[in-house]
Structure 1
Amino acid sequence: MLRARDAMDRAYAQPLDVPALARIAHVSPSHFSRTFRATFGETPHRYLQRRRVERAMFLLRETGNSATDICFMVGFESPGTFSRTFHRIVGRSPREYRKGAVAADVPTCFTKAWTRPSA
């Protein structure tokens, strides 16, 4: 399970599916889904979405790229899905998040702790 999760952390922007992740973990897809959820408390799909949103949060704070560009950079296939998923996890739209981003003089470790998605 750790190998599969590490692969998701490394290649979050790539199209990853359960069968491919199950092969990395050397188990069947159904066993992988059940075990991943039991081990990490969320489904593989939800974990991957949360990782993508975490990366998008960083890019929104630290770059001037448009939300649409960031959407595709982190692995979402549509701006609508990106915006909807971002809002569901963070509680604000990407645009609202960027406007309210923490000032640059706050240490990164505090910013990460304060803005880490909870769901």
Structure 2
Amino acid sequence: MSSIPAPRLDELARLRRVRDRIDREHAQPLDVAALARGVHMSAGHLSRQFRLAYGESPYAYLMTRRIERAQALLRRGDLSVTDVCLTVGFSSLGTFSTRFSELVGMAPSVYRQWAAHDMEGVPACLTKMVTRPVRNREAPRPATQLV
């Protein structure tokens, strides 16, 4: 069994910079290699240490940030699903819809309808907490209704 050493304090500071950059620039084209270059690490080392520190890969963290932002824009209701897709940094509507469904458990268009109907009047702070994306493909499957 191989053991990955825990990140050192200086590495933790660099990992925080990567996480902060993802939070700030989530809509920009980001890849692990570019993020790693920005903190003078190899892509593999960054990925391993980021997962160790934060429980998920830099790519998964980026996808979660994009989907969270997409949820907020879809709840607003003034942009099309395609516009939301492009605004949060996806270049493919298919990839966006697939990733959104994996993390949220429903398609973006269904989410917008659900949010407009079921989340109306709920304060934004509670809405964000209740609708936070589930990581690692753990979104529950919608229950089928028998007629």
Identity of aligned residues (%): 52
The residue correspondences of 1:73-88 to structure 2 (distance < 5 A) are 73-88=87-102
Q: Larger Cα Rg: Structure 1 or Structure 2?
A: 2
Q: CA deviation at 1:23?
A: 2.3
For residues 77 and 35 of structure 2, the distance between their equivalents in structure 1, rounded to whole angstroms, comes to: 31
Question: Pick from 53, 69, 78: which aligns with 2:83?
Answer: 69
Which structure's residues are more often helix, by fraction? 1
Structure 2 spans left out of the alignment, 5+ residues: 1-14, 136-147
| CA distance, structure 1, for counterparts of residue 42 and residue 114 of structure 2 | 43
Match 1:2 to one of 13, 16, 32: 16
Take 1:70 and 1:38, find their aligned partners in 2: how far apart are those partners? 31
Q: Over residues 48-73 of structure 1, what are the superposed CA-to-partner deviations in whole Å (9 max), with x where a residue is unaligned?
A: 01100000000000131100011010
Q: Deviations over 1:63-107 (max 9, x none)?
A: 311000110100001000000000000000001100110433211
Which consecutive aligned stretches of 4+ in structure 1 deviate over 2 angstroms post-superposition? 23-26
Deviation for aligned residue 1:40? 0.7
* Count of aligned positions: 119
Deviation at 1:41, TM superposition (A): 0.6
For 2:104, the aligned partner's letter is V
**Match for 1:21 among 35, 40, 50?**
35
1:89 aligns with 2:92: no
| Unaligned residue ranges in structure 1 (runs of 5+) | none
Separation in structure 1 between the aligned mates of residue 125 and residue 81 of structure 2, nearest angstrom: 23
Tell me how large the CA RMSD over aligned residues is: 1.0
2:51 and 2:119 map into 1 onto residues whose CA distance is 36
Shift of 1:28: 1.6
What is the alpha-carbon distance in structure 1 between the residues aligned to residue 119 and residue 105 of structure 2? 19
1:117 is matched with which residue?
A: 133
| Separation in 2, partners of 1:72, 1:22 | 24
Q: Distance in 1 between matches of 2:134 and 2:39?
A: 26
